[in-house]
Amino acid sequence: MKKITKAVFPVGGMGTRFLPATKSIPKEMLPIIDKPLIQYAVEEAIEAGITTLIFITSASKQAISDHFDPKPLLRKKFVVEGKSHLLDKFDTLPKEITRVFIPQGEPLGLGHAVLQAKEIVGDEYFSVILADDFIKPQADVINATKQLIDASLQYDASVISVEEVPEDRISQYGIVDVNSAQADINCIKTIVEKPSIEEAPSNLGVIGRYVLSPEVFELLENTQSDKGGEIQLTDALAQLLNKPDSLYAATLNGKRYDCGHKLGYVQATIDSALNDPEISVDVSEFIKGL
CATH code for the domain in which residue 97 is found: 3.90.550.10
Residue 93: pLDDT band with limits 50, 70, 90? confident
Residue 26 in contact with residue 35, Cβ under 8 Å? no
Model confidence at 183: pLDDT above 80: no
Strands 247-251 and 185-193 turn out to be antiparallel
The verdict on residue 246 lying in a domain is yes
The verdict on residue 76 lying in a domain is yes
Model confidence at 16: pLDDT above 80: yes
The CA-to-CA distance between both ends of the chain, in Å, stands at 54
Buried b (16+ CB within 10 A) or exposed e, 244-263: eebbbbbbbebebbbbbeee
* Number of domains the chain is built from: 1
- For 26-77, the pLDDT digits (tens) are 999 999 999 999 999 999 999 999 999 999 998 778 889 988 887 778 778 8
Tell me the C-alpha distance between 131 and 116, whole Å: 18
CA distances from 98 to 43, 46, 106, 121 (A): 13, 11, 25, 13
The verdict on residue 235 lying in a domain is yes
The larger pLDDT score, comparing residue 61 to residue 150, is at: 150
The verdict on residue 138 lying in a domain is yes
- What SS3 class is residue 106? coil
Buried b (16+ CB within 10 A) or exposed e, 42-80: bebbbebebebbbbbbbeebeebeebbeeeeeeeeebee
Task: Give the CA radius of gyration of the chain.
Answer: 19
Q: What range does the domain containing 21 cover?
A: 6-288
- For 237-263, the pLDDT digits (tens) are 999 998 888 999 999 988 999 999 999
Tell me the C-alpha distance between 121 and 123, whole Å: 6
Give the count of beta carbons closer than 10 Å to the beta carbon of residue 104. Answer: 21
Model pLDDT, residue 182: 62
Residue 196 in contact with residue 226, Cβ under 8 Å? no
The verdict on residue 283 lying in a domain is yes
The verdict on residue 132 lying in a domain is yes
CA atoms within 13 A on the CB side of 6: 21
Phi, psi of 172 (to 5 degrees): -100, 0
The verdict on residue 1 lying in a domain is no
- The pTM (predicted TM-score) of the whole model is 0.93
Q: How far is CA 224 from the centre of its chain?
A: 24
